[in-house]
Amino acid sequence: MADTPRISAHSIPPPEATERMRAQAVASYEANHEDVHRVLLLYSGGLDTSVMLKWIQDEYEAEVVTLTVNLGQPGEDYHVVEEKAKRLGAVETYVVDAREEFALEFIAPAIRANAIYGLAYPLFTALGRPLIAKLAVEYARKSGCDTIAHGCTGKGNDQVRIEATVATLAPELKLIAPVRSWAMGRDEEIAYAREHGIPVKGGVESAPYSIDDNLWGRSSEGKWIEDLSHAPEDDVFQLVTRPEEAPDEPEIVTLDFDRGVPVALNGEQLGLVELLERTAELGMKHGVGIVDHIEDRIVGLKVRDIYEVPAAAIILPAHAELEKLVGTIHQNQFKPQLDRQWAYLVYAGLWWEPLRSNLDAYMDSVNEWVTGRIGLKLYKGSARVVTRESPHAVYDAQLATFAESGGLFSQQASPGFIELWSLQSRMAWRLRNE
Ligand code: ARG
């Protein structure tokens, strides 16, 4: 477009030019203004995506179809979200309950891979994004959209996860990320919302935390959390009871695993979605799963997050313990390296990368034997493994004599083993100390 001012990285436009500036596509999958006619918007019902719903209609003269994905966000009323989308002019609205698929196809593999990033983050957001984006592709195709829009900023990992998914699965679709391009701050957004009859909770002063949550956890960013020397304020914890206020009596819970996936809680067989919800409730009650984390984002920045992960903080240690019990020393030495690679790929937005399927094949193979029961004691913020049972445990308390061990082990053989095992170390010691 001839009348659209362009800027290069070296020239800073005058303020009037910024006002009229339209984002130019940088990547091949990004939409130019003239490509956008019918947009599938990933709609949460919050301020950003509500403003976006109106803004896309105005800015592009495009129709907007909304998709809201239920991944088990606690306390969300999807009927209200859908009504709001209709009121703001969406031509079609969809709400998809994807909890089952999320649990079975995303969280279960993460459990088998003991998936933790940066020693602390169980990846709930990172696991949810590829599914949300996959559904966006499905519904964009179904409803005849040419473009997908999301509410991620230009600073985070979520844009990477969503856009990498769309570009991989649907090269024919274009993408817009209005928050990255519209140059509205929070005050302008609120003014825009007021002008267009979009309800604003609180006000300019009461900027909320930036929240993302699903079945596997909840994150809070923003406000004082960005001040690294600021200890967590109580109001950030909306799920987990603060440990100092948790019950004075500990509680024992058991988790049964079948091939690496939890199938029963306290002996009661449950579908995975319900098992995750019920385990989370127990963790919440006992103050389990609070994480205060500095994280290396893929886009270079570091960020501090407050996570509440009551289900993951119980299930992941239980799984790891059972896996360790049924694995050999060699498997147990090796697997954490691949676990880490799995977590990093998923964190980094490459869910669809073939290496992840390769790694999953390995995870499945190890987990074929991860069946049994783990008991944990929950008490004022901690979840500690206290009992283990498995028919496949590579463990035998009786392995004392040759006969008792069925010919597998003899204490008489130990000195010979030690002599050879320490051979190189002894030689080196002698050489260096001569
Ligand atoms: N830091 C986490 C991640 O990158 C959580 C991001 C939460 N997203 C959000 N929009 N608040 O996965």
- Cβ atoms of 113 and 340 within 8 Å: the answer is no
Active site residue 382: no
Kindly report the protein residue whose alpha carbon is nearest to atom 7 of ligand 1.
Answer: 212
What is the per-residue pLDDT for 401? 74
Ligand 1 within 6 A of 295 CB? yes
Q: Is 48 a catalytic residue?
A: yes
Residue 182 φ then ψ, to 5°: -85, -10
Kindly report the length of the chain: 434
Confidence (pLDDT) at 204: 53
Q: How far is the CA of 313 from the centre of ligand 1 (A)?
A: 18
10-residue block means of pLDDT along the chain (434 residues)? Answer: 46 50 84 96 96 97 98 96 97 98 98 98 98 98 98 96 98 97 91 93 72 97 97 97 98 98 98 98 98 96 98 98 98 98 98 98 98 98 98 84 80 94 98 95
Ligand 1 atom nearest to CA at 156 = 4
Query: Which residue is closest in CA terms to ligand 1's atom 10?
Result: 212
| CB of residue 213 inside a 6 A radius of ligand 1 | no
- pLDDT number for residue 13: 52
CB 64 within 8 A of CB 91: yes
DSSP summary character for residue 149:
E
CATH 3.90.1260.10 correct for 214-389:
yes
Asked whether 348 and 356 are in contact (CB, 8 A), the reply is no
Structural domain spans, the chain: 15-210, 214-389, 398-434
219 Cβ below 6 A of ligand 1:
yes
* Residues 6 or more apart in contact with residue 135 via CB below 8 angstroms: 67, 69, 96, 98
CB of 103 closer than 8 Å to CB of 262:
no
Say what the pLDDT of residue 9 is: 46
Tell me which residue has its CA closest to atom 4 in ligand 1: 157
Selected catalytic residue, list 44, 50, 112, 129: 129
Q: Would you identify the CATH topology of the domain 15-210? A: Rossmann fold (3.40.50)
Mark whether 158 is an active-site residue.
yes
Q: How far apart are CA 94 and CA 82, in angstroms?
A: 7
Same fold, 15-210 and 214-389: no
Residue 82's SS3 state is helix
Ligand 1 lined by 305 (C-beta under 6 Å): yes
Which listed residue (44, 112, 158, 212) is catalytic? 158
Q: At what angle do helices 312-326 and 272-285 cross, to 10 degrees?
A: 110
- State if residue 70 touches ligand 1 by the CB under 6 angstroms criterion: no
Atom nearest to 297 CA in ligand 1: 4
Residue nearest to atom 1 of ligand 1 (CA): 305
Residue nearest to atom 9 of ligand 1 (CA): 212
pLDDT recorded at residue 4: 46
Q: What's the CA-to-centroid distance between 60 and ligand 1, angstroms?
A: 29
Best residue among 150, 152, 157 to mutate for probing ligand 1, ranked by most atoms within 8 Å of CB: 157
Mutation choice for ligand 1 from 131, 158, 159, CB with most ligand atoms inside 8 A: 158
Asked whether 288 and 241 are in contact (CB, 8 A), the reply is no
Name the residue type at position 255. Answer: L
- Report the residue among 44, 117, 125, 132 best suited for mutation to probe ligand 1: largest number of ligand atoms under 8 A from its CB: 125
**Which of 143, 181, 210, 410 is an active site residue?**
210
- For the question of residue 304 being annotated catalytic, the response is no
What's the pLDDT score for residue 203? 56
Burial of 191 (0-12, 13-18, 19+ CB in 10 A): middle
Ligand 1 pocket: which of 106, 221, 296, 351 to mutate (most atoms within 8 A of CB): 221
